[in-house]
Every structure is written in C-alpha cells, then in structure tokens.
Structure 1
Amino acid sequence: MDVRDSTTVQDDVEKTSSRVLEMLALKGKVTEAGAMIAPCSDYEDEEHVYRAHHPWSVYGVPFADMQKAFDHLRDELPKNGWRIVKDGVDGSVAKSPQIVAESSEGEFAVDVRLHRANKAENAPELIEVTVESACFKEK
C-alpha cells in the first residue's frame, strides 16, 4: 500500500474528476463539493489508512442530453485508460443505469449513475459521479 500525503491524493482525485467531466462532454451545472478524506473501509482494523472520494453531479440539462453524455462516457473511459468493471443498473428501486470503472494503474475508481427525476422525492434529473482513490497510508 502506498504511503502518500492526503492533500496530494485529494488534488489527484479532483483532477481525475475533472477528466471524467471532460469525457462526459456535457455542459450543465456541476455541484461544487471538493474531494474528502475518509477511513478506508477495506482496512477497518488498521489505523491511518484512508481513501479520498469526490462525489459530484451534473444537472440542469435535458435528460436526453444526459443519456447521450452517459453513453459517450461508456465509449470514452476505455479510450482513456479505464477498465469498465460494471455496466448495468444499480441496486436502487429506480434501477438507474450505472457504470463503474477502474483506472489502468488501479489508482482510481469511478462510479457514474444516470438518475431520472423523481417527483415523489423532489429529486431532479442528474448524472451522479463519485471518484475514489485507492486506499493509502498517511505520510
């Protein structure tokens, strides 16, 4: 397991998120939250083992454009060094389309979901993205 500086890992995850947004090629509103550091659940018994994760969403564009961007991402990820490990639906009641991919070096994973509007929950149409780093030990 790599020993890394958490600030550097956060920066790398945010840069990776930016590349995923570029691959989506969707001009919508993007949530502003930055990458966060949290304990790595894969190593619950060890101290000082962390993972950076960066959840964000794209919204405010027609659903058809989101579908097109989601499909475009499916094509672009492998061209940009990612291996798709899941391409189907998530486990939600809505069965939202989901793509999970890992970077070729295994440094990052991305989970992308396409959500339809849900009026009962007052939830808008959006593409939800979470980029995570591999687990690392803090310097």
Structure 2
Amino acid sequence: MSDSKNSQDIPFAGISTTSDAADAMERVSSELYDLIGLKGRASSTQPGVMECEGKDRDTYFTIFHPWNITPAKATAAELDGVMERLKSELPKHGWKVVEYERDTSKNRNLSLTADNDEKKVSVNLASYTKDNPPALGLMVVSGCYRIPDGKKIERF
C-alpha cells in the first residue's frame, strides 16, 4: 500500500459509507495506540476523507487519520526504543514493515511505515525526539472504498 505511486496499486478496501469507514479507521488507530504502549496524551483529531487518485470522486474515497502521542515522560532514546520495539512487534499483529529509517529532515526523525493487507491500511510513524516535548506522530491511511449505491460520500 504505502510504496505505491499508482492509484491502481492502492488496494480496494470494500464497500462502506464514509462514517463507517472512519469508525473502522479509529479502531485501527486505537489498536496502534495499545501496541505503542506509551502513557501520555493522544491528540483528538478525527479521521478525514480524501478522493482516491485516478478514480471517480463521487464513488470512491479513502480515509486518513493523522494523530500524535505526547508521552507523559519519555526521553529521545526511549521514543526511539519504542520505534525499534514496534518494528519487531507490528508483524506479530498482521503488519508488514516496509520502511524503517531516519528521514531527511534537519532533525533526522526515525520513521517507520507498515502495511496491514488484511485491514487494507497503511501507517507511518515518526519519532520527533527533538521536539519540545518529544512526541510520536502517526498517519493512518486506508485503501480505496466504494460508497454503497444510493449513498453519497461525506467530506469531513
């Protein structure tokens, strides 16, 4: 999912209303939160709706959910340790790690991208250890859904 540059490579996630697909995305984010295992404050952002590139925007959509965790107490080394643990733990829960490296930003943040083929979801996690306070950022993105006949895609 995550390394596709072509909309044809984005998996079909099924037939769903936008609100049901957003609820499913929040469940995936909640499962990821539990796997991360950090005590702290998670942002309260809600999922959003985007069109599936190259597909009819009135029929197909994808859900994205950006959020972050600001740990109550965690050092930069501990956050990077969480990322290392996730690299080995995510595959035990149906995720395939497709990228794990430092990004090209000035801060050289540690980044992990993983796909869950069963759930048709991809996640990118980044460890922002130089931020004050340090945090983990996540972007969870679904495959392409088709809206049921007779329904309209809600943009939120």
TM category (shorter chain) comes to 0.7 to 0.9
1:37, distance to aligned residue in structure 2 (A): 1.2
1:65, distance to aligned residue in structure 2 (A): 3.0
Q: Which of 58, 64, 78 matches 1:53?
A: 64
8 Å contact from structure 2 (residues 126, 138) kept in 1: yes
**TM-score w.r.t. length of structure 2:** 0.77
Cα-Cα RMSD: 1.7
Q: Which of 123, 127, 138 matches 1:129?
A: 138
> C-alpha separation between the residues in 1 aligned to 2:99 and 2:81?
18
> C-alpha separation between the residues in 2 aligned to 1:8 and 1:88?
33
Q: Which of 100, 116, 121 matches 1:103?
A: 116
5+ residue gaps, structure 1, are none
1:87, distance to aligned residue in structure 2 (A): 0.8
Counting matched residue pairs gives: 133
1:72-95 CA distance string (max 9 Å, x none):
211211000000111112232322
User: Match of 1:138?
Assistant: 147
Deviates more, 1:45-54 or 1:129-138: 45-54
Q: Which runs of 4+ in 1 moved over 4 A?
A: none
**TM-score w.r.t. length of structure 1:** 0.85
User: Match of 2:81?
Assistant: 68
Residue identity (%): 22
Which structure features the higher share of helix residues? 1
8 Å contact from structure 2 (residues 80, 110) kept in 1: no
5+ residue gaps, structure 2, are 1-11, 149-156
